[in-house]
Structures are given as C-alpha cells and as structure tokens.
Amino acid sequence: MTQSVVAPRGARPGTRKRANANQRRQHRAAYLFVAPFLLVFVLMLLVPLFYSGYLSLFATRLVGGSQFAWFANYIRAFTDADFLAGVGRMGLFLIIQVPIMLVLALFLALAIDSGRARGAGAIRLLVFLPYAVPGVVATLMWGYLYGQDFGPIAQVFRALGFGAPNLLSASSILGSIMNIVTWEFVGYNMIIMYAALRSIPSELFEAAEIDGAGQFRIAWSIKIPAIRPAIMLTVIFSIIGTFQLFNEPSLLKGLAPNVIDNAFTPNYYAYNLAFINQDVNYAAAIAFLLGIVIAIVSYVVQLSTQRREAKAS
Amino acid sequence: MTTAATGKPVAGAEPAPVRARDLAPRRTTRAYSSEKRRSTLLTVLLWLCALYFVLPIAWLVIASTKDNSDLFSTFGYAFGHFNLFQNIHDVFTVSGGIYLQWALNTVIYAAVSALGASFLATMAGYAFAKYRFPGANLMFSVVLGAIMIPLTALALPTYLIFSQFGITNTPWSVIVPSLVSPFGVFLMRVYAADAIPDSMIEAARVDGAGEWRIFWQVGLRLLGPGIVTVFLFALVATWNNYFLPLIMLNSSNLYPLTVGLAQQQATSAGGGGSQAMFSTVITGSMVSIIPLIIAFLFLQRYWQTGLASGSVKE
C-alpha cells in the first residue's frame, strides 16, 4: 500500500508549513471517511463482542441471581458432553465436507477456465445459481427432496424396487446436511477461484503450453500456486461457515425431531441455551468459545500453508 | 489474503498499482487458441456436475406447478395438473396476504442494509487505500481480524443490548447490525488501490478540489464495479439472513421471507389439521428466489470484475 499513498512527505523546510497544513487537511478527510464505518463497526461488532465476553464471566444462581463466576461457564463447557459432541460434529464437517466442497469448486473453476468444455459460460452460471437461494429455502427444498413421502429420491428407489432410504435418520443426517451445504456453496467458492484464475497473466502458462505441458500439469504447477491467496480465502470462509452452522439443523429438526438434538451444532446450542433455557451467560460463553475455536483453526491452517510455502521456496 | 487474514497487512506486499483497464478480464487471445481443442469428456463431466446444482431447483419449479394431492401422487420430475397460478394466488392470499408483507420487508431490509453497508465500506476502503494517516494500519488490522468473528456469535449479545434499549422487534434491529461489512472494506481497499490512479487525485488537488469532492466525483466514478460487488454480497447476506431476524423479531408482520417461510413450513409439517400447505410453501419458496437470481444475472459483468480484483491480491 505504500506506493499508493498520496500524502506529501518529507517536503523541503521552506514548504514544510504549507505541506503540514495540507497533510492535516488530508488526515482530517481520511478520518471523516473512515469514521461512519468505524462507528457502526464499534457499536455493532466490538461492543457486542466485549459484552458477550463480560456476560460469559457471570453465572445465574437460583439464590442470589447473577454472580461473578470467573471462568465457571468455560469450565462447564469443557465438560459439557453435548457441547463437545457438537464441536466434534463440526470437526467431522471440517475434514470431510470442506475438502469435498473446495476440491469440487477448484475442479470446476479450473475446468471452466481451461476453455476446453462446451457451454462453459452456462455451466458457470448454473453452478453459481444455488448461491442466490437463501439457506432457509435450500434446506426446505432438500428436506422435501430427502422426504419419504413425495421426495424424488425415495420415489426413484421405490421405482427400482429398493426400499426408500431414510436420509434423515441418526446415521445419515450429518451426511445429508453436508450435501445441502456443499450444494449451496460450491458455486460461491468456484466464482472466487475462477475470478482469480481469470487474472493470471496468460504469458505465465502460454510458454508451458508451447513446451507441450499438459493441462493437468499446467493447472497443478502454475495455476493453482498462482491463485493460492484466493484458495486460502475460501478455506477461511469455509471454516467460519462450518462452525456457524445454524439454518440447516434448526430447520431439519422439524422433519427429524428425534435425530437432531438441541446441541447438534455449537451455534444451534448457543441459540437454544439463550432463548429456550434462558441461560444467557452460558450461551455467551459458548458463543465466545466458538469464536476462539474459529480463530485458532483458521490460524493453524494459515500457519501450516505458510510453512509449506516457505519450504517450497 | 494470507497476510490479510492474520490481521497484519504487510506494507508493500502488493504489486505496483495497475491501471484501471487492467482489471477487466485480460485474456482475450486465449479464447481463440483453445477453440480447437474441446474435450468431449470434460464437457460431459461438467454438465453432469451442473445437473447436481440444477436438479433441486428444477424440482422446486416443477413442484410449484402442482396441487397438494399431485405432490404426493406424481413423480417429482413429472408435471401433474398445472396448478401454478392457483398456487401463486394462494401464496399471496393465505393468512390475509402476509407473504406480500414478508416480501416487502425482505426487500426493504436487504436494500437499506446493502446500500448502507456498501456506502460505509466504500468510504472506508477508499480512505485506507488512498490516504496515509496515523492509526490507519491498526484500524485496518482490527477490521481484517473481525472478518473471522462469527457474526452469529454476535447476534445474541446484540439482541440483549437492543432489548435494553427497546429496539428489538423493529426493522432497525435487523438493518443496523447488517451495516457492518469488514470484508466489504477489505475488498474496497484492494479495489480502490488499483482503480484510482494517484496522479488523478493529485491533479484534482492541484485544481483546488476538496477531498470530499475528489471522492465524490473522481473516486466513486472509478469504483463502480467494486461497489456493485460489495452491494450484491451485502444484499445476498441480508436477503438470506435467517438467524438475526429470527431472534430479533416477534411480530410476524415484520418477518422477512426466510423467517416467514420457515414458520409456514413448521405449521404445515406439524400437520396443521385440514390445512395442508405444502404446495403453498413450495411455491412461496420458488417465488422468493426469483428476484436474487435476476439481480445476479443482470449485474454479472460488474460483480465478476469486482471480485476478480479483490480475490487475487495478497
């Protein structure tokens, strides 16, 4: 960013006075430009964040009401089997669903970008289409598709003479949710990667093409390294999205009430704690822990890729 | 982004500023050279993938043309008695036409939030890109770090704060939290750094233009695609938001479509007696996704350019 700074610096002594006045004026303008955003940012992001941290340090007792309790809520969370099960479920999500989704997105982005397929433009739009579908509608829709009554999946199985699979049973619900999330977000990730691919200067791989390198080789050795920042962006967003999962379990609960418990995902658990159990302090601690887990996981992922990069170069 | 997401923008990590025209998709020559080598296998494979994304929506569209009994008695991808117009009529008249109110709410919440969010993000991103001022790096780092805060984790404390001020269950309780878009600021900073040449700002200053006027007349004009991108993503985020309005709003005439449809679904799945509303919910869902799809199709050129420049920078 250093190159793009306009403010005059280190002016000669004779002009310093005017330069300083200019600089002050520009500083003032910059602060005014940033101020509205920062105001809302502080009020709607930092204040709730600290308030949530503050709340999480209190506990409501039957006698005496709300009392300062140090880290009791956090200790409780670490021994709360329901919460840990939810985190574990999200861990599974992270190591199964996120790689599948991102590899599929990367494959589609590379394939569309390679220009080797017919109707690539149309495919790109169709793959992106689910992003315009709200998570609620997507879940309702897949809920019907999974359904035993008039779901087409069950209909096909019955027509082929098999029994209809129960896609909302305890053993398959996580997979069913993974499928919904994959369906919703492959297009979004694909578009981010595709946009990055489009801006690789073509000289980078035209030489390789002339030398007879195959498409896979070009993709692996030139294109994927070139869009690594964009891929990292999608990884981070996917981690955040995974731990925030709420819509899918809360809506599918209506269809499979005995399969999805109140702590199915940590976020859903925090919601239920706050609004059904009325245990705001514990809910705040869960939400706060969730943020910390996300930050740690994102950081570890970044660190490991940076180390790999350092090793490679 | 590797540097960005750690919350430490590294000065000078970006390549030298490029001219605005470079931001347009660059490879015009490649389309011709690859013309000769189409791969049938890849084409088939890609279209199979596309099917996975389209089939559910196709089902939704077909199902919205059926009445309740046909939903149960016909195959999902076969048409039954064509009942689409009756279904649409039902969608807009059931419970005293509450669906229209929900749709209106959705449009208002999403449009106001997206306009506000993109305006705030544009100003902030422009300032971060084009001015050096004390505290800029610290502020930008905090904003970048905030991208990682799960917004749903903030909804609960925000709700508690709002309820103390008595502004829950109002449109503002949904709109105001949606005005913050740290990712929008990041995107705008990257975009503004490239799209607005410093020389142009300098020239305007020499001509005696004030900083505000420079932003308004020079900056905004060059930031078009970036603003559209931020606007669209903010629009989708609010339009699709379920969690925030769910906890903030109590009155069903304030609901956006997401909360309303979920509630309608819950009543119809809960076997609301004689009133089976599956076809109404399905048709309502189908109608609700049309506006965003149209918006994305029409603004395609803009947001793809904006995204291209935002996603490639370190």
Query: What are the sequence ranges of the domains in chain B?
Result: 40-82, 96-311
Q: What is the pLDDT of residue B273?
A: 45
Q: Under a CB-based contact definition with an 8 Å cutoff, are residues A236 and A301 in contact? A: yes
Name the residue with higher pLDDT: B6 or A151.
Answer: A151
Q: What is the pLDDT of residue A2?
A: 42
Helix (H, G, I), strand (E, B) or coil at A68: strand
Q: What is the pLDDT of residue B275?
A: 52
CB < 8 Å to A287, chain B: 150, 152-154, 156-157
Q: What is the pLDDT of residue B248?
A: 93
Torsion sign across C-alpha atoms B203, B208, B214, B216: negative
- Looking at the domain B96-311, which fold is it? MetI-like fold (1.10.3720)
Q: What is the pLDDT of residue A258?
A: 84
Residue with tokens 């229209």: B100
Q: Does the pLDDT value for residue B109 go beyond 90?
A: yes
| pLDDT tens per residue across span B241-269 | 999 999 999 998 999 999 999 988 888 76
Residue with tokens 């009942």: B83
Phi, psi of B131 (to 5 degrees): -130, 145
pLDDT band at B6 (very low <50, low <70, confident <90, very high): very low
Can you tell me the mean pLDDT for B63-90?
82
pTM: 0.84
Can you tell me the mean pLDDT for A17-45?
87
Find which of B44, B65, B154 to mutate to test the A interface (most A CBs within 10 Å of its CB): B154
Q: Does the pLDDT value for residue B17 go beyond 60?
A: no
Name the residue with higher pLDDT: A307 or A52.
Answer: A52
Contact B240 A120 (CB under 8 A): no
Q: What is the pLDDT of residue B169?
A: 92
Q: Is the ipTM of this complex over 0.85?
A: no
With a pLDDT cut of 70, the percent of chain A lying above it is 91
Q: Under a CB-based contact definition with an 8 Å cutoff, are residues B148 and A236 in contact? A: yes
CB < 8 Å to A280, chain B: 156, 160
Distance between CA A98 and CA A182 in Å, rounded? 8
Closest approach of chain B CAs to the CA of A312, in angstroms?
16
Q: Does the pLDDT value for residue B11 go beyond 50?
A: no
Token pair of B222 as six digits: 């060059």
Q: Which of A84-98, A196-210, B6-20, B84-98 has the lowest mean pLDDT?
A: B6-20
* CB within 8 Å of chain B, chain A residues 163-202: 183, 186-187, 191-193, 195-196, 198-199, 201-202
Contact B150 A244 (CB under 8 A): yes
CB < 8 Å to A36, chain B: 120, 123-124
Can you tell me the mean pLDDT for A16-29?
80
Torsion sign across C-alpha atoms B13, B15, B21, B26: negative
| pLDDT tens per residue across span A115-173 | 888 888 889 889 988 988 999 999 999 998 988 777 888 888 888 888 778 888 888 89
Q: What is the pLDDT of residue B3?
A: 36
Q: Does the pLDDT value for residue A92 go beyond 60?
A: yes
Least CB–CB distance from A111: residue in B46, B259, B266: B46
Q: Does the pLDDT value for residue B311 go beyond 70?
A: no
A287 and chain B: CB distance < 8 Å anywhere? yes
